């Protein structure tokens, strides 16, 4: 009976440590398959503005869009018909591109964006 009550406590502790790690450290994960490309980056919240400026510079300006001071959780469509999922909060950016619904040029553009974000947050 005591074991059952300790499991939720252990889970909560793990989540707390994970949350703390993401607020103080940098963790970047890339995933690629035949159909998808994605990046999930956790970084110091102080670098959020630099990431937003980089995103504006790379894809925002030519699409008359700004990522500054925003929280985003949804699909983004660019003027060149590139579509991707973006989740952006202070200290976190997640980008997912479905290669089947985008051109090779779109894939290269988003992959380059993600690699550049890695350079900004490190």
pLDDT for residue 4: 55
pLDDT for residue 21: 47
Judge whether 32 and 46 are in contact, CB under 8 Å: no
For 54, the token pair is 């980089």
**From the first residue on, what is the mean pLDDT of each consecutive set of 10 residues in the chain (122 residues)?**
52 49 77 97 96 95 90 95 97 98 97 97 92
Nearest Cα residue to 83 out of 120, 48, 115, 109: 109
Report the alpha-carbon distance of residue 115 to residue 95 in Å, rounded.
11
pLDDT for residue 25: 86
């Amino acid at each position: 009976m005591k074991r059952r009550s300790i499991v939720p406590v252990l889970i909560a502790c793990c989540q707390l440590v994970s949350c703390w790690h993401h607020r103080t450290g940098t963790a970047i994960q890339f995933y690629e398959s035949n159909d998808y490309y994605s990046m999930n980056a956790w970084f110091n919240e102080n670098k959020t503005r630099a990431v937003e400026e980089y995103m504006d510079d790379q894809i925002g300006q030519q699409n008359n869009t700004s990522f500054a001071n925003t929280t985003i959780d949804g699909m983004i469509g660019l003027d060149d018909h590139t579509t991707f999922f973006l989740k952006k909060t202070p200290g976190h950016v997640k980008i997912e591109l479905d290669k089947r619904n985008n051109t090779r040029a779109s894939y290269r553009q988003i992959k380059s964006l993600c690699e550049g974000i890695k350079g900004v947050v490190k």
